[in-house]
Structure 1
Amino acid sequence: MAGVSDESLAAAKERLAAVLPNVTLRLAEELFGVLGTLDSSAGLRRSMTDPSRPGKDKEALARRLFSGKVSADAESVVASLAASRWAKPRDIGDALETLGATVAVAVAERDAGGLGGLEGLENDLFTFNQVVGGSHDLQRALVEPQASDEAKGALALKLVPRAGEAAKVLIQQAVSNPRGLKPTALVERFVELVAERQERWIAYVTVSRPFSQQQLDRLQAGLDGLYGRNLKITVDIDRQLVGGVRVKVGDEVIDASVITRLGELRRQLAG
């Protein structure tokens, strides 16, 4: 995606974030189902992404098509996407795929208590790709055009019998509707979404000299309290930092290094 489509997807992710704490895997399955419908009809994709049509008209179209067929949450997501602007008709499908996978990842995170759930999901997806990647017969079977989606999905799940429910949803999506990719390539994209979600649980700490265990314990307690969850802390030593500490959690940076404070002081004096 690029430009306007990136902006529309970013806005859709923000809207989705508000309902993620309470959703179930059913929402992911519904969004993937709508994606299948859009992928099967080029005319429908064009109608829902036509830049010459008002957003309200496209939203109304989406609601007429899917009202009563999916949950209220799924209908709202699809209607909002239809009302948005897209550079290409395919981009709305890419967005649905991303949002559906995001729901599955968030459910795995919530239901298994945070980082552990994400790590478990990541391991399940890696296991599937390792098994399939090691067998040409499996690779051919999972893209066999004569085989039904149900048959390919059943085969895929037999390869990872201990996988969690979120992993099963993502793996079945990858083999039933890879959208021009190899199933393992789409699973890799899902792994990337898991990794992005994991960043919310990892604090990357940079210090100028090693911390004592007592200092690490205080830092752990402070960061856990600040972010409201048990973070995993990784510490990197940067002698050029001079003093202080720099912490990065997700997209947020807490920078209390001496160099940063001196730089801010210089800017204030120069201004």
Structure 2
Amino acid sequence: MGSATTQALAASTDALAAASGLDLGSAAELFAASRAIGESAQLSGALADPAAPAAARAALVSAVFAGVSTPVRTLLTTVSAQRWSSASDLIDGIEELAIRTAAKAASGDDVAGELFGFSRVVAANPELELALGSRLGDASAKGALVEKVLDGAASPAAVLIASSLVRNPRERRVRQVLGRAIDIVAAQSGRTVATVYTAAALTAQQQTRLRDVLARRYGGEISINQVIDATVVGGLRVQIADDVIDGSISARLADLRQKLAS
């Protein structure tokens, strides 16, 4: 992420935090806006063009998105006024605002946990992953498939996020976009996501101890997502963003084999 995008995203997120009147419907509008901009190279290029006057970009937003609610149009105007490193970054930024808006609208639900659960369902079902990730599939059909799979099993916010993302993958893998969404939802609630790979499920007490240790190391609250993985053998492998803490027996054995071979 370029420095321009970092600043633009920070300003856009601040605008979201200060905005009022946003709800789950607003999140749906932002997802639709992100999709529309992503499908038009001309529109995305014009909105991300740093040489274009901010007033011209604001007028373009008003013209193209005249039908959306006032709070969303105001937010899109703020986004377009920023300097983004690329048109792709601008689209990512609007998508992130949509995810954050959905998370804010469902603050009482475990949206991150539900998205993680769905990502594990996708990982365990190659046919489902292929259907959702195929470039040839119809976007609306993919969204409808997600809604069918999650019907009654997830909150409306989680369903909206997942179904919207598969409609607009933009060359990204399904689990990749879900992983990004999980991190954004967690960040919106002031948490950091730790994915824990273990051969057997952790007890509540073990989770509490691990959460406390990670909180001291990384600061802030930690959300733990467990992945049962027989290849871990024993111990844990913890991933937080790009950091990996591997205390598994399999990792120790691999290290030992490497030392013996050298």
TM-score of the superposed pair, with normalisation by structure 1: 0.68
Q: In structure 2, what residue type is equivalent to 1:91?
A: D
1:92 Cα shift?
1.0
CA gap of 1:8–1:184, structure 2 versus 1, over 3 A, is same
- Give structure 1 stretches of 5+ with no counterpart: 202-233, 237-247, 251-271
Matched with 2:72 is 74
CA gap of 1:200–1:135, structure 2 versus 1, over 3 A, is closer
Name the CA distance, whole Å, in 1 between partners of 2:147 and 2:61.
32
Matched with 1:47 is 46
User: Residue 129 of structure 1: SS of its match in structure 2?
Assistant: helix
Q: In structure 2, what residue type is equivalent to 1:183?
A: V
Instruction: Choose the corresponding residue for 1:178, options 160, 169, 188.
Output: 169
Q: In structure 1, what residue type is equivalent to 2:115?
A: L
- Asked if residue 168 in structure 1 is aligned to residue 159 in structure 2, the reply is yes
User: Residue 142 of structure 1: SS of its match in structure 2?
Assistant: helix
Where does 1:115-126 land on structure 2 (aligned, <5 Å)?
117=109, 120-126=110-116
- Matched-pair contact (CA < 8 Å) for 2:12–2:78: yes
- Asked if residue 63 in structure 1 is aligned to residue 54 in structure 2, the reply is no
- Asked if residue 152 in structure 1 is aligned to residue 142 in structure 2, the reply is yes
CA gap of 1:58–1:197, structure 2 versus 1, over 3 A, is closer
Q: Which has the larger radius of gyration?
A: 1
Matched with 1:243 is none
**Where in structure 1 do 4 or more consecutive aligned residues deviate above 4 Å?**
none
- Matched-pair contact (CA < 8 Å) for 1:199–1:249: yes
1:200 Cα shift?
6.1
Matched with 1:94 is 92
1:199 Cα shift?
2.8
Matched with 1:8 is 8
- Matched-pair contact (CA < 8 Å) for 2:22–2:72: no
CA gap of 1:52–1:171, structure 2 versus 1, over 3 A, is same
1:31-53 C-alpha deviation (Å, 9 max, x unpaired): 11111111111111111121221
- Matched-pair contact (CA < 8 Å) for 1:174–1:184: no
Matched with 1:194 is 185
Q: In structure 1, what residue type is equivalent to 2:10?
A: A
Matched with 2:132 is 142
Name the CA distance, whole Å, in 2 between partners of 1:13 and 1:54.
22
Name the CA distance, whole Å, in 2 between partners of 1:163 and 1:107.
14
Q: In structure 2, what residue type is equivalent to 1:168?
A: V
Name the CA distance, whole Å, in 1 between partners of 2:143 and 2:56.
36
- Matched-pair contact (CA < 8 Å) for 1:142–1:183: yes
Q: In structure 2, what residue type is equivalent to 1:195?
A: A
CA gap of 1:198–1:61, structure 2 versus 1, over 3 A, is closer
Matched with 2:37 is 38
Name the CA distance, whole Å, in 2 between partners of 1:130 and 1:200.
20
1:19 Cα shift?
2.1
- Give structure 2 stretches of 5+ with no counterpart: 193-210, 214-218, 222-262
- Matched-pair contact (CA < 8 Å) for 2:162–2:178: yes
TM-score of the superposed pair, with normalisation by structure 2: 0.70
CA gap of 1:235–1:5, structure 2 versus 1, over 3 A, is closer
1:146 Cα shift?
3.8
Where does 1:97-116 land on structure 2 (aligned, <5 Å)?
97-109=95-107, 112=108
Matched with 2:238 is none
Name the CA distance, whole Å, in 2 between partners of 1:188 and 1:71.
29
- Matched-pair contact (CA < 8 Å) for 1:36–1:177: yes
Matched with 2:17 is 17
Where does 1:249-260 land on structure 2 (aligned, <5 Å)?
249=220
1:123 Cα shift?
2.1
Give the aligned length: 201
User: Residue 140 of structure 1: SS of its match in structure 2?
Assistant: helix
Name the CA distance, whole Å, in 2 between partners of 1:146 and 1:4.
34
